[in-house]
């Protein structure tokens, strides 16, 4: 990313539809380069609003998001709203196991409430004299040729207004983008929207009574409860609470109407969470369900007047923690393309931006769905576990040559597609050198050890519990893979 | 389809968004059963409007469409606006070959301008006292819970109005349905929209000077010019003209900007059309391109208040001539489901309607894309040609037992999915009985005959031309397959 060039956008007016994460960051970067920016946002902004019932997965800032916020000079203030996450804790029954992202907990993601990061970005934007934000206005229509927008207030009957003097418009209005719909109207634009067969409901795990250390689980950890068809995540908040997400098959949506059904299941599968949230069932019942859409579209811009950004261009499911990080990479790429081409060739800049980003955003969308399947159910299969073990072994032997995929995704700035392809090539090569034999040997060893243990100890109760614990540990040992020298990794505060 | 039951919808008010083919037919059938129907249509209606630049493929009424219009008692008046199509004419160079749908031209499709059929349906609807039509109004918003609609006039600044007293709303507002978008908002609804890599432009072939017989090609035929990547269709109109559709790869869209390029190519590939339309290039240049979208969505209704119909639910490409026919089948199914369930269970009626129709509309969408590939390029491959020949042979030997797929699609009322599955099962069975050997023997025979011909006649010019003619004939001989007793087939007037 080049240094901010104050003149690059001087004299230009840019309208951004949507004051979410991507739109606000983009506004800041454009204003830093001389543009006048006007943001149109449908919602009204209340810094105290916790955005619950809106968008409830906490965000995790990884290397990519950090690099983008550093480029905009706002990382320090955003970082102050986050909490360092140095590993994952896997909960099985009443026990739990921690797996560090690095041997000494020196590598961290930065977790935060989405609304806290968004609020901090909005505050930074509001301080910039080049940025004006109109809350409570919605896009009603647009003129594809001239770039004019018709906007209307959401809550009042005040008449619609026209913004006709923008050089161009950025549609950063999220998964259900109105800009996307309006620029696609009458155009050849392929579009796919697929939902996972799982829904989720947020459930807050409240802070404890100890003001010095209010967290009632490890605060520097992503907490996971994998249960096959069911799953729970919890991410720490700086105030001592955790944002929990309960994930269930959409076919079980009706269960929430039957009193007792969800509570019983919740206490059985997540006894430790149920102990921390006594009224879990009632809380889950009153929370509306949220869904997991993945979207792809073949047309991210229209002429030299409109371009899409963030979820409006490439919505993904959150299971690799890359939604915001990927959106922020798109912000960097868009600004960089606009700087690289002369203003008269803005349409080409938009095309270059899509060409540069789409292979990677499509790749991370697939990867995020695969990771959900892995988190939910891979724990029970011996061969994938063995594969992980062998990968970690190789990584320990050759820490700079053999870097696992998840490290290249979460702790590097390499393109997603590039990382995936490089790992696939490496894995093909390893297969020639007997990697699969090694994996099957390790799997065979594990099966034999479990069987021996069972014969030796006779009973099945304890040994099965232990085997399950070991299986979980095997799947998670990946997290301990060594990281190559990564300038963006941070020690937790 | 049961007889119209005057009381089935008595006392109900139903709003239909969209006065296209499906919406208008549905309005007529509901009004015949006692409903008050209000239709909201964005466009203004002018019976003289030829709808060019809007939706330009002519329609062909096949058995399914005919059955639906008979059920609504309007087939005779619509039929008067159509022209019988008893076969296809394939144009190669300056020559052409006719292939009848039946041996004696006794089986016909009914071709018409879309606007003529739509106009006739609107006239029939306007005569019904139970139907009110508001032209020039557009849907702005809807309330998913109450079923209330906010509508606004398109051309004036008159204030928006609310329709709050409808029992339910039918979204028949086409490929880019606003009802679909608004009921899908915030719901788990999978949606796919894919465009073919080809676009098309309409080109009218004018009537000739002879008032008694103004058609300058066979008027009772679908005309085809298959050229691999390029293609032309022409369908006759009752007034002596033909509606032509020129289909080209979307990558060649820019060619239309370069003077001479399209004209030269058009004269080379379609010399007989170019002779009838001297200013073809200029006409093509001023016509905007149209596209070929296919859409699928997983949610055709919302609660007991909203349901989608026709293209809004299942848009397909036109290459099997089944878009309108399939939409009309959906009208019959929707009305039948609504009659079958008590009013209090309307949501279940909507679900039954989707369950009954979606397998078939998905199937015909796939089939229509495959048929485009076949029409464009299969002509050049020997094995598919031989397969057709053997199929026709079998059909001649066993006319009631072996009915080709295209006959079951176009000349029966069997569900699309059912027809495709039955043909696939039959083909698997035939393979066991040596069908493939027969096909390869026929293909080998053809290759040998062509080679012999070439050796015998020495030169390649004439013989290649003949071979090409024969290949086209082989691909089209399918059209001569015998039809089983089909009560809906009509003799041409």
What is the tens place of the pLDDT at every residue in B362-405?
999 999 999 888 887 655 567 777 777 777 788 888 877 888 88
| A354 Cα distance to chain centroid | 20
pLDDT above 80 for A462: no
**How close A73 comes to chain B (CA, Å)?**
35
Q: What does the alpha-carbon distance between residue B116 and residue A341 come to, in Å, rounded to a whole number?
A: 50
**For B23-30, what is the mean pLDDT?**
98
Residue with tokens 């037919």: B25
- In sequence order, which residues have a C-beta less than 8 Å from that of residue A40 and are 6 or more positions away? A15, A16, A17, A18, A19, A134, A137, A138, A139, A149, A151
**For B416-425, what is the mean pLDDT?**
91
Question: A159 contacts in B (CB within 8 Å)?
Answer: none
**How close A443 comes to chain B (CA, Å)?**
39
More confident site: A441 or A209: A209
Counting one residue from chain A and one from chain B, the pairs whose CB atoms sit within 8 A come to 35
B188–A195: do the CB atoms touch at under 8 Å? yes
pLDDT (0 to 100) of residue A468: 55
Q: What does the alpha-carbon distance between residue B91 and residue B105 come to, in Å, rounded to a whole number?
A: 19
**For A419-423, what is the mean pLDDT?**
91
pLDDT grade for B469, boundaries at 50, 70 and 90: low
pLDDT (0 to 100) of residue A400: 80
Strand A87-92 and strand A221-227: the pairing is: parallel
**For A388-397, what is the mean pLDDT?**
78
Shortest CB distance from A195 goes to which of B181, B190, B193? B190
Strand partners, B307: B170, B301
Structure tokens at A263: 């509570």
Question: B186 contacts in A (CB within 8 Å)?
Answer: 176
> Counting every residue, how long is chain B?
493
Shortest CB distance from B195 goes to which of A188, A199, A250? A188
Question: A191 contacts in B (CB within 8 Å)?
Answer: 191-193
pLDDT grade for A212, boundaries at 50, 70 and 90: very high
Shortest CB distance from A190 goes to which of B186, B195, B199? B195
Q: What does the alpha-carbon distance between residue B42 and residue B151 come to, in Å, rounded to a whole number?
A: 10
Q: What does the alpha-carbon distance between residue B275 and residue B295 come to, in Å, rounded to a whole number?
A: 37
Q: Which of A196-200, B161-165, B466-470 has the lowest mean pLDDT?
A: B466-470
The set of long-range contacts for B430-434, using a CB threshold of 8 Å and a minimum separation of 24, is B430/B394
pLDDT (0 to 100) of residue A458: 57
Q: Which of B61-75, B195-209, B290-304, B438-452 has the lowest mean pLDDT?
A: B438-452
B191–A190: do the CB atoms touch at under 8 Å? no
Structural class in CATH, domain A13-84+108-192+295-373: alpha beta
Strand partners, A161: A151
Residue A35 backbone dihedrals phi, psi, to 5 degrees: -80, 150
Residue in A with minimal Cα distance to B294: A190
Q: What does the alpha-carbon distance between residue B30 and residue B13 come to, in Å, rounded to a whole number?
A: 10
Mutate to test the interface with A, among B188, B199, B295, B298 (most CBs of A within 10 A): B188
pLDDT grade for B94, boundaries at 50, 70 and 90: confident
Q: Which of A488-492, B133-137, B270-274, B478-482 has the lowest mean pLDDT?
A: A488-492
**For A127-131, what is the mean pLDDT?**
95
Cβ-based burial of B151 (10 A; exposed 0-12, middle 13-18, buried ≥19): buried
Average pLDDT over all residues of chain B:
86
Residue B109 backbone dihedrals phi, psi, to 5 degrees: -90, 165
Candidates B371, B253, B374; CA nearest to B316 is B371
Q: What does the alpha-carbon distance between residue B348 and residue A450 come to, in Å, rounded to a whole number?
A: 51
**How close A99 comes to chain B (CA, Å)?**
34
- Domain spans of chain A, in order of start: 13-84+108-192+295-373, 194-291, 381-469
Q: What does the alpha-carbon distance between residue B411 and residue A170 come to, in Å, rounded to a whole number?
A: 51
Query: What is the number of other CB atoms lying within 10 angstroms of the CB of residue B389?
Result: 20
Question: A194 contacts in B (CB within 8 Å)?
Answer: 190, 192
pTM score, two decimals?
A: 0.82
pLDDT above 50 for A484: no
pLDDT grade for B19, boundaries at 50, 70 and 90: very high
B250–A194: do the CB atoms touch at under 8 Å? no
Shortest CB distance from A190 goes to which of B186, B188, B194? B194
Q: What does the alpha-carbon distance between residue B411 and residue B98 come to, in Å, rounded to a whole number?
A: 19
Residue with tokens 């909960």: A91
Question: A291 contacts in B (CB within 8 Å)?
Answer: 187-188
Half-sphere CA count of B131, side-chain side, radius 13 A: 26
Q: Which of A21-25, A442-446, B283-287, B476-480 has the lowest mean pLDDT?
A: B476-480
Question: B185 contacts in A (CB within 8 Å)?
Answer: 176
Chain A residues whose C-beta is within 8 A of a chain B C-beta are: 176, 181, 185-195, 199, 250, 291
Q: What does the alpha-carbon distance between residue A7 and residue A33 come to, in Å, rounded to a whole number?
A: 6
**For A471-479, what is the mean pLDDT?**
44
Q: What does the alpha-carbon distance between residue B410 and residue B101 come to, in Å, rounded to a whole number?
A: 11
B181–A181: do the CB atoms touch at under 8 Å? yes
B44-67 pLDDT, tens per residue?
876 555 544 455 689 999 999 999
Structure tokens at B122: 């609107």
Strand B306-308 and strand B301-302: the pairing is: antiparallel
A189–B181: do the CB atoms touch at under 8 Å? no
Candidates A343, A312, A334, A322; CA nearest to A25 is A334
More confident site: B214 or B453: B214
CA angle B106, B109, B111 (to 5 degrees): 135
B289-329 pLDDT, tens per residue?
999 999 999 999 999 999 999 999 999 999 999 999 999 99
Torsion, Cα B361 B362 B366 B369, to 10 degrees, reads 50
**For A314-332, what is the mean pLDDT?**
96
Angle between helix B416-432 and B435-457 (nearest 10): 80
C-beta separation of B41 from B193 below 8 A: no
Q: What does the alpha-carbon distance between residue A309 and residue A334 come to, in Å, rounded to a whole number?
A: 8
**How close B60 comes to chain A (CA, Å)?**
24
C-beta separation of A182 from A176 below 8 A: no
pLDDT (0 to 100) of residue B321: 92
DSSP state of B290: B
Average pLDDT over all residues of chain A:
86
What is the predicted ipTM?
Answer: 0.77
Mutate to test the interface with A, among B193, B197, B288 (most CBs of A within 10 A): B193
The proportion of chain A whose per-residue pLDDT surpasses 70, expressed as a percent, equals: 87
Structure tokens at A291: 């869904």
Chain B residues whose C-beta is within 8 A of a chain A C-beta are: 176, 181, 185-195, 199, 250, 291
Residue in B with minimal Cα distance to A250: B188
Strand partners, A15: A38, A169
pLDDT (0 to 100) of residue B218: 95
Candidates A232, A213, A211, A212; CA nearest to A222 is A232
Question: B250 contacts in A (CB within 8 Å)?
Answer: 188
**How close B20 comes to chain A (CA, Å)?**
17
CA angle A125, A128, A129 (to 5 degrees): 135
pLDDT (0 to 100) of residue A51: 47
**How close A290 comes to chain B (CA, Å)?**
9
Question: A192 contacts in B (CB within 8 Å)?
Answer: 191-194
**For B147-168, what is the mean pLDDT?**
93
pLDDT above 60 for A97: yes
Candidates B491, B492, B488, B448; CA nearest to B467 is B448
- Coil, strand, or helix at residue A130? coil
Residue in B with minimal Cα distance to A190: B194
Mutate to test the interface with B, among A188, A192, A249 (most CBs of B within 10 A): A188
pLDDT above 60 for B3: no
Candidates A142, A172, A166; CA nearest to A18 is A172
C-beta separation of B130 from B35 below 8 A: yes
pLDDT above 70 for B348: yes
Residue in A with minimal Cα distance to B198: A188
pLDDT grade for A428, boundaries at 50, 70 and 90: confident
**How close A46 comes to chain B (CA, Å)?**
22
One-character DSSP codes across A288-303: PPEEEEEEEES--EET
Residue B294 backbone dihedrals phi, psi, to 5 degrees: -120, 135
Torsion, Cα B318 B324 B326 B327, to 10 degrees, reads 130
B199–A191: do the CB atoms touch at under 8 Å? no
**How close B193 comes to chain A (CA, Å)?**
5
pLDDT (0 to 100) of residue B392: 76
Mutate to test the interface with B, among A42, A145, A193 (most CBs of B within 10 A): A193
pLDDT (0 to 100) of residue A470: 52
pLDDT above 90 for A444: no
SS3 for B176-238, per residue? CCHHHHHHHCCCCCCEEEEECCEEEEEEEECCCCCCCCCCCCCCCEEEEEEECCEEEEEEECC
A185–B191: do the CB atoms touch at under 8 Å? no
pLDDT grade for B446, boundaries at 50, 70 and 90: confident
Alpha carbon distances (Å) from B317 to A189, A244, B115, B321: 15, 45, 18, 8
Question: B199 contacts in A (CB within 8 Å)?
Answer: 188
Structure tokens at B298: 């997983």
Strand A137-142 and strand A149-153: the pairing is: antiparallel
Question: B187 contacts in A (CB within 8 Å)?
Answer: 291
pLDDT above 80 for A478: no
Strand A36-41 and strand A221-227: the pairing is: unpaired
Shortest CB distance from A191 goes to which of B185, B193, B199? B193
B250–A188: do the CB atoms touch at under 8 Å? yes
pLDDT above 50 for A314: yes
A199–B188: do the CB atoms touch at under 8 Å? yes
Q: Which of A123-127, A309-313, B342-346, B470-474 has the lowest mean pLDDT?
A: B470-474
One-character DSSP codes across A355-405: HHHHHHHHHHHHHHHHHHHHHHHGGG-HHHHHHHHHHHHHHHHSTTT---H
Question: B182 contacts in A (CB within 8 Å)?
Answer: none
Residue with tokens 């003149």: A7
**How close A62 comes to chain B (CA, Å)?**
29
pLDDT (0 to 100) of residue A4: 58
């Amino acid at each position: 990313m080049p240094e901010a060039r104050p003149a690059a956008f001087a004299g230009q007016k840019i309208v951004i539809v949507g004051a979410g994460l991507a739109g606000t960051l983009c506004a800041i970067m454009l204003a830093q380069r001389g543009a006048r920016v006007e943001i149109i946002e449908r919602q009204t902004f209340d810094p105290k609003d916790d955005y619950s019932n809106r968008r409830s997965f906490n965000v995790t800032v990884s290397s990519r998001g950090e690099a983008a916020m550093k480029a905009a000079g706002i990382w320090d203030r955003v970082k102050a709203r986050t909490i360092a996450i140095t590993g994952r804790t896997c909960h099985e029954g009443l026990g739990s196991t921690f797996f560090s992202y690095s041997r000494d907990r020196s590598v961290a993601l930065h977790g935060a409430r989405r609304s806290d990061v968004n609020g901090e970005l909005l505050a930074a934007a509001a301080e910039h004299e080049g940025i004006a934000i109109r809350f409570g206005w919605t896009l009603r229509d647009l003129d594809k040729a001239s770039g004019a927008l018709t906007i209307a207030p959401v809550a009042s009957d005040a008449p619609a207004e026209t913004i006709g003097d923008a050089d161009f418009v950025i549609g950063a209005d999220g998964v259900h983008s109105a800009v996307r719909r309006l620029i696609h109207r009458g155009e050849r634009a392929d579009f796919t929207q697929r939902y996972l067969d799982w829904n989720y409901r947020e459930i807050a795990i409240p802070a404890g009574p100890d003001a010095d250390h209010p967290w009632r689980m490890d605060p520097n950890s992503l907490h996971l409860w994998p249960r096959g068809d069911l799953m729970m995540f919890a991410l720490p908040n700086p105030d001592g609470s955790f944002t929990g997400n309960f994930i269930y098959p959409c076919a079980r949506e009706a269960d929430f109407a039957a009193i007792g059904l969800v509570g019983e299941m919740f206490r059985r599968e997540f006894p430790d969470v149920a102990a921390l949230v006594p009224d879990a069932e009632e809380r889950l019942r009153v929370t509306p369900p949220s869904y997991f859409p993945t979207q792809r579209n073949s047309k991210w811009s229209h002429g030299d007047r409109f371009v899409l950004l963030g979820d409006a261009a490439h919505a993904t499911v959150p299971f690799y923690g890359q939604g915001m990080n990927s959106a922020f990479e798109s912000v960097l790429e868009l600004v960089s393309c606009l700087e690289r081409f002369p203003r008269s060739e803005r349409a080409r800049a938009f095309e270059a931006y899509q060409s540069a980003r789409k292979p990677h955003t499509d790749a991370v969308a697939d990867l995020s769905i695969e990771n959900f399947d892995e988190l939910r159910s891979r724990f029970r299969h011996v061969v994938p576990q063995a594969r992980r073990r062998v990968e970690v072994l190789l990584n320990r032997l050759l820490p700079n040559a053999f870097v696992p995929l998840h490290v290249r995704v979460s702790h590097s700035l390499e393109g997603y597609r590039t990382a995936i392809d490089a790992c696939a090539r490496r894995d093909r090569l390893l297969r020639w050198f007997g990697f699969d034999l090694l994996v099957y040997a390790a799997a065979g060893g594990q099966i034999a050890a479990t069987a021996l243990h069972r014969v030796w100890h006779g009973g099945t109760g304890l040994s099965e519990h232990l085997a399950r614990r070991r299986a979980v540990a095997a799947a998670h040992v990946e997290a301990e893979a060594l990281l190559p020298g990564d300038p963006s990794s941070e020690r937790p505060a």
